[in-house]
Amino acid sequence: MIGKLLTLVIVLGTIPDHVADLANGAVMFWAGGCESCHAVANARGDDELRLGGGQVLSTPFGRFHVPNISPDPDHGIGEWTLAEFVNAMKHGVAPGGVHLYPAFPYPAYQRMRTEDIIDLKGFLDTLPPVAGRSQPNELAFPYNLRRGIGLWKLLYADGKAFGPDPAASAQVNRGAYLVAGPGHCGECHTPRNFLGGPKRDRFLAGGKGPDGKGVPNLTPAKLKSWSDGELQEFLTTGITADGDVTAEAMGEVITNTLSRITAQDLAAIIAYLRTLPALPDAPR
């Protein structure tokens, strides 16, 4: 209990006096692909902004039912204070001090600037409220015990914001921020150990995703054969230089998320990925 209270106090004491910029909140929303998980099932068009949840994430630890994050005051986050929202994003703690499972990618969101999180909350508050709660998660013992998440956080969640590299360009730092923070690319593209923690020395080197399927390597070892133009075209349309079309999870990320961010931000992401160590694919 003391640990939970301390976490809340730390966040309350560090929220800046910042008026939400709704335009930037929208940028953070689409960069983070919030609708990809939280939109109501089979959402298309305007329904992508109806964040009633209900989708299911299947992982080796069980099935997670994605929650309602619409502004609905009873079933969503409409009654959450700004401090509670920041606390969830930066520390994985829900109102009341409940640890959130890292299926919600706060290990990446903790890198976001608090001002960007405030902007995101402001944008979410403008979306339509949606009634209805998701089903409980389906997790076997011991993963159904939330106390263990606190120990997991000691290893993999430090709450620190992104620190730009003074030796890198503004463009590369922007790309690094989007990849490490709101874009949470490493949550799928970085392999994990038996505890579900990321193998940091294999950052973005691909491997097996949460659903057990292969996830591609994003380091220069794989991207060196692609030009910047080819990568930008692929990340906007999902079509490769030889006419192949990506599908399933990555296809949805491109269609729902990457196609909606600015060309400048997409170029920044590509520039950053070019700077990473060239890591070979994991042995099969």
Domains with residue ranges and CATH for the chain: 2-156 (no CATH), 170-274 (1.10.760)
Each residue of 172-216: pLDDT tens digit?
999 999 999 999 999 989 998 888 899 999 999 988 776 667 888
Asked whether the beta carbons of 51 and 130 are under 8 A apart, the reply is yes
Q: Which of 135, 138, 140, 148 is nearest to 75 (CA)?
A: 135
pLDDT tens profile 64-116: 999 999 999 999 999 999 999 999 999 999 998 889 999 999 999 999 999 99
What amino acid occupies position 30? W
Torsion sign (Cα): 150, 214, 89, 79: negative
Gap between the Cα atoms of 86 and 78, Å rounded: 14
Distance, in Å, from the CA atom of 203 to the CA atom of 162, rounded to the nearest integer, reads 16
Contact 175, 273 (CB under 8 A): yes
Of 252, 261, 257, 259, the residue nearest 42 (C-alpha): 252
Name the helix (H) or strand (E) containing 57. Answer: strand 56-59
pTM: 0.90
Q: What is the dihedral of CA 131, 110, 192, 190, to 10 degrees?
A: 100
Beta bridge partners of 232: none
Which residue type, as a one-letter code, is found at position 225?
S
